[in-house]
Amino acid sequence: MTSPSAPARAVLSPWKRVLFMSITLSVPLVALVLLELVLRVIGFGGYPAFFRDMGELAPGQSLVITVPDASRPYFFADPDRAGYAEESEFVMPKPAGTFRIMLVGESAAKGYPQPRNLSMGAFLQAMLQARWSDRRVEVINLGTTAVASFPLVYLTRAAVERQPDLVVLYVGNNEFFGAYGTASISASGTMPPTALPWVRAVRGSAVVQGIESLVRGRSSGDRTLMEQMIGQTVIPSDAGLRRAAADNLGGHIEQMVEACRAAGVPVLVCTTASNEAGLVPLGQEVLEGQDSEARATIERELAVARMAATGDAATAERAARAVLERAPQHAEAHFWLGKARAVQGDRIGARTAFLRARDLDTMPWRPISATEQAIRDAAQRSGAPLCDVAEAFRTMSPEGATAWELLDDHVHPSLRGQAEAARLMANAVMAMPGMPTGEPIADGFDWSSMAARLGSNPWDAWRVDHTLRVLFGVPFMKRSNAEAFLRFDRAANALEQSVPAPIRAVLDEWKTTRPHAGAQRPVTGMVARAMLREGRAADAEPLYSIALDQVPGYMSWSLEYAYFLLACREKTKPALDAADLALAAEAIARGRFLLAHGDSGSGFTERYVGRLHQLRGEWSEAIPFLLAARPRMNAEDLVACDQALVMSYVKVGRIGDALAICDEGIRSSGRFAPVYQRMREQVKPGG
């Protein structure tokens, strides 16, 4: 019997096969696109703008602020521990008669550890303003902590769109351990500069950011940002990461210069200074091939070499050279050789040894010769003027290489260093073709008097000492530079032990306060508040004036310090004068702008707008702001707000409303009920 024939299998036509394959392959792509869109709605993906338009200040004028945490996505290993910039504000379009400078860089450009009024940007603005009195000089400090040069390319591209007359680049300190540094936990490794934009694009996708948020561990909140950024602890002098760091930096400097040129904006390129003659190398020495006996000999000779500055320098030099015979790349031995040569008056030999020690340091938190030269080469290739801060600092330093006179730690200038860096920049700017000219600022200028005019004071000096005590308390810093830790610890302790208990409590509070993104509450304002509580208005007033210069103008802290500054003046002079009333009016205008654009989360903006109205005698105008603040106030803040509100009610004759506030407080404020009872007694007729 013949079996029935099998049914014929249908054959797809070529166009149907193509359609089927296209649909099959597109399904994952469509799903990925949908997932990307969903995650972007949730909040993942992309990069925040470096600048934010806040709204119209006046017809044809808009307020723009720098976004402090715009660099957060670059810290993909731990965005919760990201670097940030200072919050600053400026007006667009640029007002007539304004000369706007954008200062681009890392934490050293930002001014760390000095407060913003004592940063190199503040000194630069003051210096140029003194020479260019026919215009308003404005320096917008875009220094961002813990980033390498790659993110700053994008910052520069955004900055040139905001009508600067000049961009100053003080870039190059974080090419190893900053975000996108070659040895950072948020690293690009040895990737060529041309690959980094692709890495950035991928890491900017919502899918990648979402996945990373799921697999990333908890933030290391008990570690400093400096410790957190280390991805590789030992980088030998011949490691490819060093050449990659120099290549990256040089390429990125050129891209920044090109961005400025394309926008028609002049640019000044600066080398960055580091502590060469003061800071002992930080990294572990590489002693491969040395047996235990040789290592013991090296340690014995090092112990002698470490006496270079305090003992017999010639003997110390012989000991250092003995170490280098066994281990030619021993960074610490080169450092003590430099100290010995400096003590013996050989500046050239000392300089050579100190720079060799810096370059051989296996934990390069400081720029090395290759990265420093990359800046010079990039400026030369691109035809940009160069301000060689690094070399100028060495010339000023007694040991032939830069030390503690000009640096606070490894790369951050001291107060004098901030002023000297600004002087070098100002002179370079005035020498640039097409720039306004002025009398050069001579070497040896009175930087301390200028610092005093900008607001230097003992409390901010303590702030710096404490900040550096914490930094040099980091284990690898303390291991190699214990003397630096002791010096800053002694200085900070000396002030802490010399002040009364209420002030010491304020200092302790400042130590533990978590910084606001883009700003840290000034210690000057906190100390001033404690003094005011003690009835020391005359002592508090200058500190409030300094604190007002240390915070962004468009935030509640600025309104708070303006109010208390004027409250001090009200106590120390017969009456507020026209300038005082104008200061109050300016602060009120800023507060009203903030409230009109949604800044009412804490209630403090409303509260201080109300208090400032009261200082101007505008009792009725204060009432709606104080009422708006009340629901957001607690404890002592609510009591203070109610006291102000009761005062306004009494001044305008609304006695019933004043009594109602008092009665509510008596009923519901708990331990503050006696305060409200006293208020009520004062409100009563004849009280």
- Scan for tokens 């803040």, then name that residue: 637
Q: What angle do CA 102, 111, 426 make, to 5 degrees?
A: 50
Greater confidence (204 vs 619) lies with 619
Which residues contact residue 582 at a Cβ distance below 8 angstroms, ignoring those fewer than 6 apart?
none
The closest alpha carbon to 263, from 366, 164, 364, 122, belongs to: 164
Read off the pLDDT of residues 561-570 as tens digits, 9 standing for 90 and up. 999 999 999 9
Read off the pLDDT of residues 569-608 as tens digits, 9 standing for 90 and up. 999 999 999 999 999 999 999 999 999 987 667 899 999 9
Residue 22 pLDDT exceeds 80: no
Give the start-to-end residue ranges of the domains of the chain. Answer: 62-211+224-277+367-452, 292-360, 458-683
Q: Tell me how far apart the alpha carbons of residues 274 and 412 are, in angstroms, rounded to a whole number.
A: 7
Residue 418 pLDDT exceeds 90: yes
Average pLDDT, the chain: 91
Structural tokens at position 200: 């950035």
Q: Please tell me the total number of residues recorded for the chain in this structure.
A: 687
Are residues 180 and 74 in contact, defined by beta-carbon separation less than 8 angstroms? yes
Concatenating the DSSP letter of every residue in 272-314 gives -----SSSPP-SPP--TT--HHHHHHHHHHHHHHTTTTTS-HH
Alpha-carbon torsion, ordered 483, 485, 491, 493, to 10 deg: -130
**Which pLDDT does position 35 carry in this prediction?**
63
Superfamily of domain 62-211+224-277+367-452: SGNH hydrolase (3.40.50.1110)
**Which pLDDT does position 517 carry in this prediction?**
56
In the chain, what's the furthest Cα-to-Cα distance? Answer: 127
Superfamily of domain 292-360: Tetratricopeptide repeat domain (1.25.40.10)
pLDDT band at 40 (very low <50, low <70, confident <90, very high): low
**Which pLDDT does position 28 carry in this prediction?**
72
Structural tokens at position 73: 């996505």
**Which pLDDT does position 512 carry in this prediction?**
86
Residue 164 pLDDT exceeds 70: yes
Greater confidence (40 vs 293) lies with 293
**Which pLDDT does position 588 carry in this prediction?**
97
% residues pLDDT > 90 (the chain) = 75
Are residues 284 and 234 in contact, defined by beta-carbon separation less than 8 angstroms? yes
Read off the pLDDT of residues 212-266 as tens digits, 9 standing for 90 and up. 777 765 555 555 655 555 656 789 998 989 999 999 999 999 999 999 999 999 9
pLDDT band at 5 (very low <50, low <70, confident <90, very high): low
Which residues contact residue 171 at a Cβ distance below 8 angstroms, ignoring those fewer than 6 apart?
104, 105, 106, 109, 149, 152, 249, 252, 253, 256, 270, 272, 375
Alpha-carbon torsion, ordered 201, 205, 208, 209, to 10 deg: 110
Structural tokens at position 120: 């190199």
Read off the pLDDT of residues 625-648 as tens digits, 9 standing for 90 and up. 999 999 999 999 999 999 999 999
- Scan for tokens 């640039």, then name that residue: 432
Structural tokens at position 264: 């028609």
Handedness of CA 26, 27, 28, 30 (dihedral sign): positive
Read off the pLDDT of residues 335-347 as tens digits, 9 standing for 90 and up. 999 999 999 999 9
Read off the pLDDT of residues 472-527 as tens digits, 9 standing for 90 and up. 999 989 999 999 999 999 999 999 999 999 999 999 999 987 766 556 799 999 99
pLDDT band at 324 (very low <50, low <70, confident <90, very high): very high
CB atoms closer than 10 angstroms to residue 328: 11
Q: Tell me how far apart the alpha carbons of residues 545 and 682 are, in angstroms, rounded to a whole number.
A: 33
pTM listed for this prediction: 0.92
The closest alpha carbon to 477, from 462, 487, 463, belongs to: 487
| 458-683 has the same fold as 292-360 | yes
Rg (CA), the chain: 30
The closest alpha carbon to 153, from 92, 194, 125, belongs to: 194
Handedness of CA 428, 433, 437, 439 (dihedral sign): positive
Continuous H helices in 550-672: 556-572, 578-596, 604-615, 619-629, 635-651, 655-668
pLDDT band at 685 (very low <50, low <70, confident <90, very high): low
Residue 671 pLDDT exceeds 80: yes
Percentages of the chain per state (helix, strand, coil), in multiples of 5: 60, 10, 35
pLDDT band at 200 (very low <50, low <70, confident <90, very high): confident
Read off the pLDDT of residues 421-466 as tens digits, 9 standing for 90 and up. 999 999 999 999 999 999 999 999 999 999 999 999 999 999 999 9
The neighbouring-strand residues paired with 168 are 103, 268
**Which pLDDT does position 474 carry in this prediction?**
92
Topology of the domain comprising 458-683: 1.25.40
Between helix 331-343 and helix 313-326 the angle, nearest 10°, is 150
**Which pLDDT does position 39 carry in this prediction?**
65
Q: Tell me how far apart the alpha carbons of residues 326 and 286 are, in angstroms, rounded to a whole number.
A: 12
